[in-house]
Copies of this chain bind each other. A is one copy, B any other.
Amino acid sequence: MNFSIKKERLMQSVNECLRAVATKTPQAILTTIKLEVSLQGLKCTGSDSDISIESFIPIEEAGDEVIEVFNAGSICLNARLFAEIIRKLPTDTVELNVKGNFQTVIKSGKSEFKINGLDADEYPKLPTIDHEPYALQAKILKEMIKQTGYAVSSAETRPILTGINWKVENNMLICAATDSHRLSKKTIPFESSEEINIIIPGKSLDELSKLANDDEELVEISFTPSQILFKMKNILLYSRLLEGNYPDINRLIPTEEKTVMKINTKDFLRAVDRASILAKDDKSHTVKIVSNDGLIEISSKTSEVGNLLEEVQASELSGEEITISFNARYMIEALRTIESENVVINFTGIMRPFVLTGENDASMIQLILPVRTV
């Protein structure tokens, strides 16, 4: 393998792949980036075996020659070392040349690194996915991930809850995440003749969000029973899927109404955020709200430190007056997903889950389980 390449462009692809490269692994090959150069261009691959990212650099981009290939071939180089070397090279162009025994010479100006590489044939094969792809706009994908991903469980006790459930029914894609204290559900139109029901690791979707830079781009999505592939221009992200049955979330979402409160999203968010400062008496970060004729009293306390009392005016309140307590962090994170000026909260009882929706936005609901009011 022998080629020269523009340093900045190589850096970009190496950084993209680095997102997937394992940090702790007994398998040395997974700490490397695989480089494969052909007359089409350079393919860089990073993987921790759960997520794999492939970033392609074509020979020419926007009319500029990016790569000059002298000899096709491939090599695996320690990913973090390689990234640091490329970043610090003195000139705009770098030449890579694989000699005998996988030793690789990286040359830029008067600087010459000799690095011991590994055989690219040892690198794990990426899955083959020949399912006909679906397509979603990057902007819509990223919004979905933002609105559901925060509710994913971080505990490994129930691995299935570390994923986001994607279910297609009646040409609608329903994305749901829950950590069993709260739940998020987002629904968007999605044309499909098959029934789809998969669970994608939250972390994989998080990486997808960061890689999808062009909001207008169409991301192609295809999968097998165990793997999903997101295909962007020059970037592929593979992720394994989680195995098992996702809980039936519709069972958890209340259908009745008891108290419906409409309130300015930002005002309420900021008030709860202030209350969270003094909500440190228990692990639940308990904040209490009490309604009184449309005036919402928000309070919290930390023993021996102090308390907060604050009032926010609801723009509408119908049904019974309420007194309810909740985890401030859950409320803050749910409110942050709501882009409407007003949030509508439907309370169904002092110890029953309550539901947040953006005003005039039926596509998403956020559900939170209250905590006991003391």
Contact = CB atoms under 8 A, between A and B. Distances in A.
Interface of A: 78, 81, 84-85, 88-90, 103, 110-116, 270-271, 273-274, 277-278, 304-312
A274 B85 contact: yes
Contact of A308 (B103, B111, B312): B111
A6 B111 CA distance: 56
Contact of A88 (B78, B84, B103, B277): B277
Given A88-B273, A103-B306, A113-B274, 15 more contacts: A81-B305, A88-B270, A90-B270, A111-B271, A112-B308, A112-B310, A113-B277, A113-B278, A113-B307, A113-B308, A114-B309, A115-B305, A115-B306, A116-B304, A116-B306
Contacts of A312: 110
Contacts of A278: 113
Contacts of A116: 304-306
Contacts of A112: 308-310
A111 B306 CA distance: 14
Nearest to A113: B308
Contacts of A89: 274
A273 B270 CA distance: 46
Nearest to A90: B270
A83 to B, nearest CB: 10
Q: Which of A90, A111, A112, A270 has the most CB of B within 10 A?
A: A111
A116 B306 CA distance: 6
A273 B89 CA distance: 10
B270 A110 contact: no
A113 B274 CA distance: 9
A113 B309 CA distance: 6
Contacts of A85: 274, 277
A68 B85 CA distance: 58
A346 B116 CA distance: 36
A270 B307 CA distance: 54
Contacts of A271: 90, 111
Contacts of A277: 81, 84-85, 88, 113
Contacts of A274: 85, 88-90, 111, 113
A142 B273 CA distance: 38
A143 B312 CA distance: 50
